[in-house]
Structure 1
């Protein structure tokens, strides 16, 4: 970022009541401020207490907007704003002072904003209230999310699991989803040492065990049965008391008596000390004075893909937390975390888990350590660093050659298939000082000549993707004084188009590898000075995700058509590995060959795939070992399950799949197709399938992790989107 960005922040939450969603609004503004962004937080309700808003008032660059008190909209009275009213207020504020990004929370709210269409392309939507299972993901819900994804600049996902689910069901979200986990403030007071980092206070001090719960009171959060824990623990010989903080008691239609029963339990249950609503910092002080935090919930929430803010807050205080065993909690704290509630997570089970924390000091110390380590990855400073990275990518700084111009540099992009340029186009459009237009040809040799001529006459520089008919046309219609850049891949060299290009009108021909740059010069006779190498880009940030369990023993192939991709050689490797260890499997992400008419029309191609499919049906070693996954843009989520990416092709111009695998933490394995050793490290290239098999089998679990880290570093240094975009920008602005 080269300038101070302006953010509008609004959540469909009431900041008078402390719960996870209200804390999100506070933390988001704090993180944006630390990231150097100006932020206006728009309040949904009239302020009745400043417990959450007062700490924001003095932050640099932060403004609190009070729509009710400031009378920004007629008829607000003292009721919380509806989604329609919020959209109107945000639109008015944007008209008075345009924002660069609008950060929103709440699906219903975002749906309304999207429908109004004022903020398209500037929305950063934080969505947790979306369907989190296949059964809930109705077609109507999916269509709603598609509209949100298309209108949003970024989708902020609380957890990796939520991001992968969204990308799987909503292809339009791929590439836009970034992680934005909960953030908790670092305590500004001394925290007791409970995990053995210093001298542990062990055993627990004399007096009752102090349990603590902070947040909202709701049936599924088990807050009513929680009040019985002191009684049940006393029966187990453990004196205990429960400290609670919060003032939001849900009025739940499914539990009509809950609100009254909860209020009565907080006020009159022996051993329960209710501290009411408190500022976040004071709530943390109260919790820090306790011994064990409670994050135990109804098992119906076990499938949730969200992360509990209170668990992280307790962890920041060094508190061990009693909570349900769920996939999300296992990923956060480890499968061997000692204070998971056993059994069916009933009240008796929760009491047993708390009793274990008292009777097993080692278990309590380990739990405190795990919670503290988890919290260290969710600090406000960490959130600010993530925001800086997200904003830096979304709002890149323009090079000096562009900012020095009197008017924007006009960049035209033309071609029939722009899939290899998508993120580069996003980068060009985001650069201040560049005006970008696209001439999208509907087919390889079909276009609107008038539109193409208009672009050629307008542009200072034209980039043509693929050295095909579009390159021929633009080389013959180049405007004097403009520049023309043509990117050539591989298949064009076997076609007549390079010979039809007026090379004198072309300023640069971009090839994706040194080998094909040489072949291009040899076959065309074009001047060496005009042919340059710029590798394909890899979105290393999007692909860098934690591996799923079992990834070490899963091979992956992306794209198996046409036959020169050599799925048969991949099966050779799989078969040899499974002869040693039946845990090996192969996942294939590709369109089937019969969906490509130009492949399936060839008898030799059909014969090849017939043999391959028949082999998979008849080989005892391959039975049930090959999975074909749907072709789509959700490659980053798919690669989480893959530990080794194979490239067994006869030839490739670059082959993006191994590089994407490397960025994901997978180990690449390539056969020596021409030019592979000029793109990839020789250590990943093997003479034949036998050598490839031996190399994969020899790694072992530790060796695999070590090799994957080397591969990840290599791809970041060589092909990261930021580096490649910088090189392309230099090409655009060159004189």
Structure 2
């Protein structure tokens, strides 16, 4: 980062008690400090113990604000801050020393801060206390989360599964959701040799004590193991025992079990994090076993990471998340229905099978190595660098910001570029959003034309015509032309003498534009479409190898019929092949559906899907929406069967996701995409797809090649750099 970034951090958590949420606050501040941020942590509750806050005291750029002790909130006394109090305090602190980002944890506090409106666009929201199933995602919850997403700069998601779930249900989350998994500190002490176990066997659990975390049944394990001839003791660390209205007897029973009423239990109470790690490191086996009602959780098991970094194997439930983390053949999953007897069986195996214990320890250690504080700092630094790009050198000497005006009726292809321009120091950006292709507020457009140093008009349509005729002397005008405009009269109505640059998205359409208009060649340049490679780079779901994908099938020149040809050819040899289509239906575009030939095309396609034996049950039509990265996780091959395209973003997006592209040779395709992905016809396309092999390895290698190609040529940061150079200097760089 070229400048100091200032962060405020607040969580709806009590840092006197050691649990996952409190440890999150500590780890987040540590990682932000490592990433180079000046960070202020604001505490919710009065501090009674420095177990979590003392390690932060000496970190570079870190300060801990204690509202109760510093009497910052009238009437707080010894109570925790309410969401209303916290939001007001954060606003006041921001007024005293403005922050660049506000990192918040907890749905209630995020909702309150969003409602107050002071931090819109600066909120980095970390939400785990949200619905994590379709049944729980009510319309009210969706509306609330939509407001939160719209006001946030980023949504910090603990796992890929949580990010995808959120994007599927909350459209506003798409493009703003990034991964921010838990972080565990590397131990600052030598680790013991875990190849040999103690006698008695030492089990360990650290964290909060709650019914669904099976902490009370855990205290029965030493007795159950004794019945199996295994001497064992359970070591516990923590001081937060939940008061659960659904289990009114739990608190007292848990307290009794920890304090001498359960044989073989040694309770160490609440300890600083490093001391808790030392206690755990001196044990033989970690316990991450939970009630099966948590098996569907979309969160990552921090317990596995905490114990894994210490070289401990962990006993835990078999869940999709754990299988993704440790593998389906991990040897210490709790068998059966994960009852207490089942947990005792898993511990018995660990005690009696050194090879199983060693394999489990290796898996846990390898998993944890990806989630260290150092790795977390790298992730934070990458997020910060993207949100806060450095100022262009060419504007550093200016006495005022460079004024950029953006105009047009449909700015969907500019969204992330606009985010980038607004984040650049030295640029001031305003938008003239036309409500329709040829309808606008003339006074607002004239104000923008008079104000801007550079005007960018998206689409060479009526807006381009108007701005070319109302250009302010000394300003620059840039028009971006796609494809459909060449078939209309607008390019001939543009005053090309007033235009400084016409941007086309491909070399082929740059040539066509020159041939069609006769404009001066030095005014027409090529800057490709951008692909958000970071958002699209996600692990593939099981079965993706045999799923084709098409994005956008209207109008008929997109040639869904040829995509069906490819699918039929593949399914004639292997019935595992499927096709997913993500698109608005053609009848939602009135200008398409009003044409008889278009209707006939789609009626024939739908009839074919219903009647072809090879297509039966093999074609899925998915809702149109912004959740393309989530959708692409299920897709292994993206088809482009169009008659013509100006660029066709779908193959590039698929490539960024690790899918293999397959294109027909529409004009100009070979100047945008590698010719290895372009095939003479549907049969050649099907043969190439099938030729990637059934084992998946060749397909994965091809996908990695495709991903690398997109990152080198069309990644958002490269295209944004080219656009920035064009706006600032009038030249086009190569990104």
Output the CA distance in 2 between the equivalents of 1:235 and 1:73. Answer: 56
The reply on whether 1:263 has 2:255 as its aligned counterpart is yes
Output the CA distance in 2 between the equivalents of 1:726 and 1:133. Answer: 40
- Structure 2 counterpart SS, 1:69: helix
Output the CA distance in 2 between the equivalents of 1:182 and 1:11. Answer: 15
Counterpart residue number, 1:254: 246
The reply on whether 1:235 has 2:227 as its aligned counterpart is yes
- Structure 1 counterpart SS, 2:338: coil
The reply on whether 1:501 has 2:494 as its aligned counterpart is yes
Counterpart residue number, 1:197: none
Output the CA distance in 2 between the equivalents of 1:618 and 1:177. Answer: 41
The reply on whether 1:654 has 2:647 as its aligned counterpart is yes
Q: Is the 8 A contact 2:197 2:284 kept in 1?
A: no
The reply on whether 1:108 has 2:101 as its aligned counterpart is no
- Structure 1 counterpart SS, 2:33: helix
Question: What is the 5 A alignment of 1:28-177?
Answer: 28-177=28-177
The reply on whether 1:714 has 2:718 as its aligned counterpart is no
Q: Is the 8 A contact 2:477 2:499 kept in 1?
A: yes
The reply on whether 1:210 has 2:202 as its aligned counterpart is yes
Describe the superposition over 1:164-196 as per-residue Cα deviations: whole angstroms up to 9, x where unpaired. 1111111011100000000000011122354xx
Output the CA distance in 1 between the equivalents of 2:301 and 2:86. Answer: 27
Question: What is the 5 A alignment of 1:156-555?
Answer: 156-194=156-194, 201=195, 204-205=196-197, 207-268=199-260, 269-555=262-548
Output the CA distance in 2 between the equivalents of 1:591 and 1:652. Answer: 18
Describe the superposition over 1:566-587 as per-residue Cα deviations: whole angstroms up to 9, x where unpaired. 1011111111111111111000
Output the CA distance in 2 between the equivalents of 1:612 and 1:254. Answer: 55
Describe the superposition over 1:324-376 as per-residue Cα deviations: whole angstroms up to 9, x where unpaired. 11111111111111111111100000000111112222211111111111101
Q: Is the 8 A contact 2:508 2:667 kept in 1?
A: yes
The reply on whether 1:732 has 2:709 as its aligned counterpart is no
Describe the superposition over 1:137-158 as per-residue Cα deviations: whole angstroms up to 9, x where unpaired. 1111111101101110100000
Output the CA distance in 2 between the equivalents of 1:479 and 1:147. Answer: 39
| Deviation of 1:289 (Å) | 0.7
Q: TM-score, normalised by structure 2?
A: 0.98
- Structure 1 counterpart SS, 2:460: coil
- Structure 2 counterpart SS, 1:368: helix
Q: Is the 8 A contact 2:198 2:284 kept in 1?
A: no
Output the CA distance in 2 between the equivalents of 1:2 and 1:316. Answer: 33
Q: Is the 8 A contact 2:308 2:367 kept in 1?
A: yes
Q: TM-score, normalised by structure 1?
A: 0.98
List, as ranges, runs of 4+ consecutive aligned residues in structure 1 with deviation greater than 4 Å: none
- Structure 1 counterpart SS, 2:638: strand
The reply on whether 1:625 has 2:618 as its aligned counterpart is yes
| Deviation of 1:239 (Å) | 1.0
- Structure 2 counterpart SS, 1:412: strand
Any stretches of 5+ residues in structure 1 without a counterpart? 195-200
Counterpart residue number, 1:5: 5
- Structure 2 counterpart SS, 1:699: coil
Root-mean-square deviation (CA), in Å?
A: 0.8
Output the CA distance in 1 between the equivalents of 2:259 and 2:304. Answer: 25
Q: Is the 8 A contact 2:504 2:510 kept in 1?
A: yes
Output the CA distance in 1 between the equivalents of 2:595 and 2:191. Answer: 71
| Deviation of 1:206 (Å) | 5.2
Change (3 A) 1:190 1:296: same
Q: Is the 8 A contact 2:233 2:266 kept in 1?
A: yes
| Deviation of 1:449 (Å) | 1.0
After alignment, is 328-337 or 714-723 more displaced?
328-337
Output the CA distance in 1 between the equivalents of 2:692 and 2:198. Answer: 53
- Structure 2 counterpart SS, 1:40: strand
Describe the superposition over 1:90-129 as per-residue Cα deviations: whole angstroms up to 9, x where unpaired. 1111111111100000001100111111111110000000
Output the CA distance in 1 between the equivalents of 2:682 and 2:383. Answer: 41
Output the CA distance in 1 between the equivalents of 2:199 and 2:368. Answer: 28
Describe the superposition over 1:558-608 as per-residue Cα deviations: whole angstroms up to 9, x where unpaired. 000001101011111111111111111000000000000010001111111
Describe the superposition over 1:644-676 as per-residue Cα deviations: whole angstroms up to 9, x where unpaired. 000000000000000000000100000000000
